[in-house]
Amino acid sequence: MRRLVAAAAAACLFPASSGASEVSPGRPARVTPLSADYWRDLAPRPADLWGETRETFRGANLALIAAAAGAAGGLAFLDNDMQKPWRRGEELLGHDIAKIGDVFGNPGVQAGVMAFAYTLGRYAGDDTLARAGKSMAETMIFTSLTTLAVKGAFNRRRPDGDDRLAFPSWHASATFGNAAVLAEYYGWKAAVPAYLAAAFVAWTRVEQNRHFVSDVVAGAAIGCIYGHAVSRYNMRVHPAVAVEPVLMENGAGVRARVLF
């Protein structure tokens, strides 16, 4: 988690009785998919999508985009040589384990991860988790549109010859996009397992002979760039606020914590 700053403390003080030892926090209102507020907050706003687009294509991100394009382009010249072991049927992880990466990295499953995070956050009153879930949803809009557009433009045949949708990997862009969002909202403790899981998915796509190395590198770059940009925009424009009770020497109050 980036920075948690105490934005307000000890507002609404109440006298404490002599025997009081704790204050029972009020239970946050539960918001479920049956509530209009659930969908109203989840729906992307045009102004936010435009702001996130500007956040993506400015400053240091432009250098990252150029570097990612250069890396994927350079690896493309080595793809056939790097793919030879998998074309011969060699396996490092094995078919059953690689299949796990295929399923987990499926964009539909990653959309389910997003929906679970957002739903749990709204139901439990965890504003940070809910906003992370919303950022995942908006990141997936960008990664999906970009990935599909580039697939159509490059029309690259998969190494197994199945179709011409190899470049870039949608599995990689989806999983790395969600990982980047978790890294922004929860810091390295979430980033490490999330990025390891995304790297596992990317590797399995190569081992299964469904993608070249440059395909998954490009997909990972798309996911990371959008995930970080969308999250940073939302954390700045729509910071998560957690209100919690606090005990004080002569009474009790509330404290607000803001994530930005």
Instruction: Give all domains of the chain, ordered by start, each with its CATH number.
Output: 46-237 (1.20.144)
CA 95, CA 210: separation in Å to the nearest integer? 13
Q: Under DSSP, is residue 6 helix (H, G, I), strand (E, B) or coil?
A: strand
Identify any residues that bridge with 6 across adjacent strands, giving them in sequence order: 257
pLDDT of residue 24: 38
pLDDT of residue 6: 36
**Total-model pTM:** 0.82
pLDDT of residue 246: 52
Answer whether 196's CB lies under 8 Å from 47's CB. Answer: no
Q: Which of 248, 250, 213 is nearest to 80 (CA)?
A: 213
pLDDT of residue 190: 96
pLDDT of residue 213: 96
pLDDT of residue 251: 55
DSSP calls for 39-51: HHHHSPPHHHHHH
Taking only the tens of pLDDT, the chain with its 260 residues reads 444 333 333 333 333 333 333 333 444 568 988 899 999 999 999 999 999 999 999 988 899 899 999 999 999 999 999 998 878 878 888 888 999 999 999 999 999 999 999 999 999 999 999 999 999 999 999 999 999 999 999 999 999 888 999 999 999 999 999 999 999 999 999 999 999 999 999 999 999 999 999 999 999 999 999 999 999 999 999 886 554 555 555 655 545 455 54
Q: Which residues of 123-141 are buried (b: 16+ CB within 10 A; e: fewer)?
A: bebbbbbbbbbbbbbbbbe
DSSP state of 77: T
Q: Which of 141, 113, 117 is nearest to 48 (CA)?
A: 141
pLDDT of residue 118: 97
DSSP state of 250: T
Q: Which of 131, 124, 125 is nearest to 48 (CA)?
A: 131
pLDDT of residue 86: 79
